[in-house]
Amino acid sequence: MGRHMTKKRYEQRTDLEKIQSQWHKLTGLHSRDEASAAIVRAATAAEIAANFAMREEFESRSKFDGEFVNNLLRWANGLDGKINRLLLPLAKGRKSHKAFNDVKKDAVQINQKRNAIAHQGEFCNVGESEEIIKRARKFIHAVVRVYEPGFTLKDQK
């Protein structure tokens, strides 16, 4: 497929397509030394992965409609809230709980750095962005692969 194919509008993409779009954008930003912007994109991709996991859990275990689930995701407010208020409590006693708990520390680090950039105007260097990108990749793969075992993020060429 060529580069000139008609792109699906962002809001019409699936969560997995949105994650990959964010990842593609962040690898380009990172390669151009836009470290802070790359971190924000990495955090966004991680948060979309948490949204994906929540939607999968609700779809398989409840009859709640998508609007209600989306309201819960907004209420949880950020990666930290989604992990602590929704994913971990919902997964308690299930195999997925270990996968989510294993990357909780990564989620905290991603969220803290993103908030420092977005709310305090912090600038970050390439080393900091490499660390957060590495944590985000680990988080995304751990969370998404609970539901889609073959999922792999693709970096921009």
- Yes or no: say if 45 and 156 are a contact pair by the CB < 8 Å rule: no
Distances (CA, A) of 144 to 2, 53, 56, 123, 134: 27, 7, 10, 29, 15
The model's pTM: 0.91
Q: Which CATH number fits domain 16-144: 1.20.1050, 3.30.70, 1.10.20, 1.20.120?
A: 1.20.120
- Region 107-130: what's the mean pLDDT? 95
What's the pLDDT tens digit per position in 35-93? 999 999 999 999 999 999 999 999 988 899 889 999 999 999 889 999 999 999 999 99
Cα-Cα-Cα-Cα dihedral sign, residues 47, 129, 24, 10: positive
CB atoms within 10 A of CB 78: 17
Mean pLDDT score across all residues of the chain: 91
d(CA 41, CA 25): 7
